[in-house]
DNA sequence: ACTATATAGTTCTATACAGAACCAAATGCA
DNA sequence: TGCATTTGGTTCTGTATAGAACTATATAGT
């Protein structure tokens, strides 16, 4: 493996890390005080892919440790944005539902984020995003699979 | 702005967030216990772009808050991996230098990471990386500039 | 059925992270 | 020169995050 090839992969992950940092900061600037990106993304996930999922499934969707997800969910529950019920199919497990107030807040946040997206779309057009997405998805899926293979 | 366009940007940042999470976890598995990705990336940065930089410059390179950088640097200094000297040009400021032991550790980590990269390169070939990098760089630079414009 | 193992989630703990307020040196400007 | 503002960095504080160990339920193998 050539040094320069290695360093391209490092640069790739480095760029991704910086973009993650920047986009997270931008998002958090629009969130209610004390609210953090991870909590919003969970809320968003529940709307996009549907609720009634287990905490573990959600943790896996974002590839975060399950104890981190326990924490995020407990915050969302404390704020009345989700409901956590026991899973009738499995006594070990729970199911997560978004509440009306969670749904409303999510929509409010998305609306308030629109101007930011509009500005980004000016400098980084939608076609670019469309071209980028499949490749990133491919990379993500591969890393996912590779991780599973390792564990 | 159409709902679907918005949601593509959300998906973009979401994919990036997951990849960041996965690559960070993978990297941290190779780091000495207690060592965290942020600390390695600083070490790596000092070698790649050269040391003798100010903490603020480094914070800006990664777009993290300067107090976060203060923390990372203090850990690296405590471990003897960097040296922080006062800047003779500016009494407010400091300059960060990597030590021999920091350089050595960084190389050790990179070497130990090689098999992971090799595996990734199998599933996600180098050409893909080369094609992706300029677009990500463009996005990162735009977000950078936009952020500065906002502040 | 009985034991071993795997799975879902929580708790405990230590560290990272980031906002806010702060201090000190530097710069701008009257 | 003197005062206001800006800049570089740290401190203080509260929250997020994640490893490790734990509990409880479920599943597999015999």
**Closest approach of A72 to chain B, Cα-based (Å):** 16
Q: CA separation (Å) from B68 to A49, B75, B105? A: 34, 11, 22
Mean predicted confidence (pLDDT) in A76-81: 98
Q: Cβ separation of B25 and A121 shorter than 8 Å?
A: no
- Angle in degrees, CA B40, A16, B150, rounded to 5: 105
User: If pLDDT is split at 50, 70 and 90, which confidence band does A3 have?
Assistant: confident
Q: From the candidates A7, A14, A19, which should be mutated to test the interface with B, based on the most B CB atoms within 10 A?
A: A19
pLDDT value at position A150?
67
| Mean pLDDT value across residues A121-126 | 94
Residues 3 through 32 of chain B touching chain A, CB cutoff 8 Å = 5-27
The CATH number of the domain where A40 resides is what? 1.10.10.10
* pLDDT for the residue numbered B151: 63
User: Rounded mean pLDDT of B82-90?
Assistant: 97
Closest residue by Cα to residue A20 from A136, A151, A145:
A136
Q: Which of A6, A110, A120 sits opposite B114 (nearest CB)?
A: A6
Residue partners of B129: CB distance under 8 A and separation at least 6: A8, A9, A12
Contact at CB, A15 and B144, closer than 8 angstroms: no
How many angstroms separate the CA of A107 from the C1' of C16? Answer: 31
| Count of domains for chain A | 1
| First and final C-alpha spacing in chain B | 24
Q: In which domain, by residue range, is A99 found?
A: 3-150
- Residue A1: predicted pLDDT: 78
Over 80: is that where the pLDDT of A26 sits? Answer: yes
* Residue A151, pLDDT above cutoff 70: no
Q: For the residues B113-129, what does the mean pLDDT come to?
A: 94
pLDDT tens-digit series, residues B97-110: 999 999 999 999 99
Mean pLDDT of chain A: 95
Convert the pLDDT of each residue in A87-96 to its tens digit.
999 999 999 9
Mutant choice from A12, A115, A119, A147 vs B, greatest count of B C-beta within 10 A: A12
Rounded to 5 degrees, what are φ and ψ at A84? -115, 115
What CA–CA distance (Å, rounded) separates A105 from A103?
6
Can you give the pLDDT at residue A24? 97
């Amino acid at each position: 493996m050539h040094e320069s090839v290695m360093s391209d992969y490092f640069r790739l992950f480095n760029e991704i890390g910086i973009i993650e940092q920047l986009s997270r900061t931008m998002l958090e600037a629009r969130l209610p005080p004390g609210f953090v990106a991870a909590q919003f993304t969970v809320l968003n996930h529940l709307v996009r892919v549907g609720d009634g999922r287990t905490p573990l499934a959600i943790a896996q969707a974002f590839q975060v440790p399950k104890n981190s997800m326990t924490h995020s969910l407990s915050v969302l529950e404390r704020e009345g944005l989700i409901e956590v019920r026991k899973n009738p199919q499995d006594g070990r497990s729970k199911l997560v539902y978004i509440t009306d107030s969670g749904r409303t807040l999510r929509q409010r946040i998305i609306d308030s984020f629109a101007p930011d997206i509009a500005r980004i779309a000016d400098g980084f057009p939608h076609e670019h995003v469309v071209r980028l997405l499949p490749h990133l998805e491919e990379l993500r899926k591969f890393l996912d699979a590779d991780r599973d293979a390792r564990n």
